[in-house]
Amino acid sequence: MMHPDTTVRWIDDDVGLGVVATATIPVGSLVWVRDTLDRVVSTHQFDSLPPLQRAALRRHVWQEGGRWYLTWDHGRYTNHCCEPNCAGLDGEFDLAIRDIEAGDQITNDYGWLAMEVSFACRCGARDCRGWIGEDSSSPPDGALVSPYLDALRRLPHTEQPLWPLVADEDGVGFDMLRSRYSEP
């Protein structure tokens, strides 16, 4: 589920729809959390879908462990940027890795995700990699890890509207989230 201070808007004819902040979202905020309403599609299910549905799904799913995940709300419209303002390491949650102002588009680096799309990137970032998808370069080594870990440290000190979704899931709490990652 996406942060409540976000909405989906038409970005432009190149990009299509995107997710935009409607208020300031500070660094360290949980911007997206995987929840029980998200759809998990097995490889078998995916392969057995008609081509029209497979093509539509490919635009919005990411793959992990042989399964596809489809976010049920407007999180599925989160676009790529080579200098993203959000990052996640394991498909469980995304954090704001810098302060996001009202009107800013919420972005992720698809190079960290096994996305089912390839496209020429026109994100406008200074170090735009130009092509995203199969055979595309991943984010430069460590480029997002350090800001991500900084954001993770701020997580317990930041107002978290999505926290109940994290805490309710088998008692998973901040300590468990933090313990998944080694300090740099």
Residues in touch with Zn ion (CB under 5 A): 82, 121, 123, 128
Hey, what are 42's tokens? Answer: 């097995």
Q: In whole angstroms, how close is the CB of 103 to Zn ion at the nearest point? A: 20
DSSP 46: H
Q: Which residues, including other chains, have CB under 8 Å from residue 152's CB and lie 6 or more apart?
A: 28, 95, 177, 178, 181
CB of 144 to Zn ion, least distance (A): 14
Closest to Zn ion by CB, 122 vs 180, is: 122
Distance in Å, CB of 63 to Zn ion, minimum: 21
Residues in the chain: 184
Shorter beta-carbon distance to Zn ion: residue 82 or 155: 82
CB of 133 to Zn ion, least distance (A): 12
Q: DSSP label at 17?
A: E
**Cα gap 34→20, rounded to integer Å:** 19
- Cβ neighbours of residue 5 under 8 Å, at least 6 residues apart? 21, 22, 23, 24, 25, 102, 161
Judged by beta carbon, residue 30 or residue 132, the one nearer Zn ion is 132
Nearer to Zn ion, 100 or 162 (CB): 100
Residue 96 CA, chain-centre distance (Å), reads 10
